[in-house]
Amino acid sequence: MSLHIPRILLVDDDPALLHCLCDLLTYRLRPAVVIVQASSDHVVADVTDGHYDVVVCDFKMPHQDGLAVIRQVKAVNPGQRIILITGCIDESIEQQGHQQGADAVLRKPFDCDEVVRVIQSLVRLHAASVSRHR
């Protein structure tokens, strides 16, 4: 049985948050591959081939918001696991995120243990669905 190495794509326009999340996930999920993007511009191209277990995407970003990213990602890779993160206090964001296909919506500031638990759970679901389709 081979070890599954989680692959996570982080998308946020806040470099400090990207750096912190990358360090947290790289350490807590080791071994893991954590890729960071400060823009949502290339997310769809990156997930088309299904190389990520989980995409973690911010809600508010320049050019397009996280809901648009979720819609576009799900259009090309319906099985992609996605977490929407947001600092918005609007309660409807969570409902909208789930309607667009987010597996989870986490509010900033978030609890590090919760982020890790949710990602681990989604990585397991993704790995299980991939092994079923082989």
Q: Whose CA is closest to 40, among 53, 58, 26, 22?
A: 58
Which of 32, 107, 35, 103 lies closest to 74 in space, CA to CA?
Answer: 103
Give the CATH number for residue 19.
3.40.50.2300
Predicted confidence (pLDDT) per residue in 74-87, tens digit: 999 999 999 999 99
Residue 2 within any structural domain of the chain:
no
The answer to whether residue 44 sits within a structural domain is yes
Answer yes or no: are the C-beta atoms of 10 and 22 closer than 8 Å.
Answer: yes
Q: What is the pLDDT of residues 100-110, one digit of tens each?
A: 999 999 999 99
For the entire predicted model, the pTM comes to 0.94
- Indicate the helix (H) or strand (E) that contains 84: strand 81-86
Residue 74 lies in a domain: yes
3-state secondary structure of 20: helix
Evaluate whether residue 98 is within a structural domain.
yes
Residue 56 structural domain: 7-132
Decide if 1 is inside a domain: no
Q: By the 8 A CB rule, do 7 and 30 touch?
A: no
Report the domain count for the chain. 1
